Amino acid sequence: AQSVTQLDSQVPVFEEAPVELRCNYSSSVSVYLFWYVQYPNQGLQLLLKYLSGSTLVKGINGFEAEFNKSQTSFHLRKPSVHISDTAEYFCAVYYGGSQGNLIFGKGTKLSVKP
């Protein structure tokens, strides 16, 4: 079955520290990969996406993610976080097919402390 696993439900970090949010997906021939962010009391917005080409993808707010096909991973990173990065982050995968649906992970709550 198609699935997306976010390995950490909560990640606390101090301001200006680096962070990595992990995402693994069940293997498939080809996938499209997304990271969405949800700030408190808001809807989700796109951070970045991988469709093809370079495996390192840069997104908004200084985030980047690396697609690793052999490990079926798409981890999100930021070298130095800010208080304003406190939010919930969702990894999502499009596996293709006629339904065209995204499969979401359960989310990782990033809490940045001063």
Partner 1 sequence: EAQVTQNPRYLITVTGKKLTVTCSQNMNHEYMSWYRQDPGLGLRQIYYSMNVEVTDKGDVPEGYKVSRKEKRNFPLILESPSPNQTSLYFCASRERGGRETQYFGPGTRLLVL
Residues making contact with partner 1 (CB under 8 A): 6, 9, 32, 34, 36, 41-46, 49, 51, 90, 92, 94, 96, 99-102, 104-107
**In the complex, least distance from residue 10 CB atom to partner 1, rounded to whole angstroms:** 11
DSSP H or E stretch at residue 88: strand 87-94
Task: Compare residues 29 and 114 and give the one whose CB is closer to partner 1.
Answer: 29
Q: How far is the CB of 88 from partner 1 (least distance, A)?
A: 9
In whole angstroms, give the CA distance from residue 72 to residue 75.
10
Q: From the CB of residue 101, how many other CB atoms can be counted at a distance below 10 Å?
A: 13
